Structure 1
Amino acid sequence: MFSGLLRRPEAGALIGLIGVTVFFAIVGGVEFLYPSSIGSWLSRSATLGIIAIPVGLLMIAGELDISVGATITAGALITALVSGFYGAPILVGMLATLAFGVLVGLLNGWLVIKTGVPSFIVTLGTLFAVSGVLLGATVVLTGTTSISIKAPEAAKTIFGMYVGGFQVLILWWLGITAAFAYFMHMSPYGNWVFAMGGDKDSARNAGIPTRRMTILLFVFSSVCASFVGMSQAILFQSVQATPQLTLIFNTIIAVVVGGVLLTGGFGSVLGIFFGTITFAVVTQGIYYTEFDQTWSNLVIGVLLLGAVLMNNTFRKMALSTAPRKKGAKA
């Protein structure tokens, strides 16, 4: 039974999460495990995790979406522009934001299918295109690169409120994680995603609608990124027209730490969930230690390298055949 658990894609991520949590609890002191501290790294996990899961599904399918860095900013700007600058009801701003996410996802998926260009290049172009359009449009419409918004209390309560140091977005993250876990591991669509990551041509020949699934996965990614941007606008009530480029790399790191292979075809939603928390624990935990903060990137880099090596080991275990019985012929 224990051997079977170790063969699961999320095994390495869970072991890594336990390891870094124990490490920072010892080195950083018991303050690291106070409710306020847990709320800090869980809130960070929620923001990153809502984006990491759909990006991770794309990576399992053999694709990649790095345009999320601009889509997050777009979600925040559209919400602030529609419901802040123009004064429309917050619901209108939210619907406009999510609709924009759908459009970006459809565009990314369509370009990947029609051009045959790797999704990294396609979404890199989308990243810069969306960033440029947003910056130019914001300046033209408002005369500035910053927009403020005063969201109603109901919206703050649902999307941006902190309760006892825990952000409400954590509940959204848990719900979205559960929905994607069902999609990947309990519905036939999950098998299609894994098949696409293993060999897209074979999956297509087997009757799997690879084109529709590719577009759907890109829509998931963009909508979730827009949703996070919308929540940030409601929470902070001020938006800058600057793409969140660092978050792109943080997302990929969290997904890889969660056991997803860059080559596709292997991973799990639960693993991405654990990987996201692990990344948040490391980035937040270092502030509880006496380490020089300039070494934080080194810690993250070592974590990524260790995760890749560990996950490769667990992948080999998962794909290996059961050991032969003693005395069996070779």
Structure 2
Amino acid sequence: MVVPSLLAVAIAALMSALITWISRPLLQRYALARPNARSSHRIPTPQGAGIAVIAATLVVASAWAAWVNVAIPPALVIATVVIALVGFADDVVSLPVLVRLVLQAACVGAVVVTAPDDARIVPTLPLVLERGLIVLAGIWYVNLVNFMDGLDLMTAAEVVPVTAALLLFGLLGELSWPAMLIATALCGAMLGFAPFNKPVAKVFLGDVGSLPIGLLLGWCLLELAWRGQPAAALLLPAYYLADSTITLFRRIARREPFWSAHRSHFYQGATDNGFTVPRVVGEVFALNFLLGLLALGIISAGSAAATSLALLAGAIAIGFILWRFSRHQGF
């Protein structure tokens, strides 16, 4: 199974790179992101290449699923396409916040509600309550992936190590087949997009990419939690969760319009404090690699003590990076 997985990664990467290269002139004309006071880029840059990432992910995962006779939930595929269209519309003509949230909630809700009733994280909770909390968490996760896509290669530095870890967990039998297929294809698609997004980026993902990536990645992590590994599922995206959630509460405490674009995230502050973009994304990638190893330790050990130690180590590592990013020029 290792060889087919690597082949799927390579095919998704080639497909993503080809579609990105072909679509870039059109995006340059119709979906140009112009820099403003809150931007990290300095020159007008086309956005919307997430079309390539999502297309490659869905095509490769669906083809592989058909080959091995595995069913990817139709609700997930449909919701991914719909949320990508919402993102594309927002890239071209900005949509009202309420409209975006309602459509995102509908997509996340459709995926969660159609899941089997025996897919549980906390069986002692009423099913309706647990699913409601998952929908809220899913909406937040979709948006935080979008919020964190504010620096060249940042999303690649998050998605590639997380999906690679999910692929490994799938090979170890700790993740469902459909989730492993999605994670594998998404890993390859992001690798194919990365050369176009390295500093200084030639093209951005745009909301058409970051929103459905959040949905697909969130679903894969949810599948991992449903398979009895909630701690590992929490640890893998923990840096994104920490940076976004802390930033959100800080903005609320300051009575700032937290729903509007800003440059308040720790990774954005790092560039203001003298960190280069490659250094920021490099440290985020290394942190995510470490979190993947800690998650693997949780799964391999299978004990409460190992889980506690891994979560503590992850929290310390994340806190250290956030502290570094908030200090002038690091050390």
Query: Where on the TM-score scale, by shorter chain, does this alignment land: which range?
Result: 0.3 to 0.5
Q: Which has the higher contact order (CA 8 A, sep 6+)?
A: 1
Asked which structure has the greater CA Rg, the reply is 1
TM-score by length of structure 2 reads: 0.37
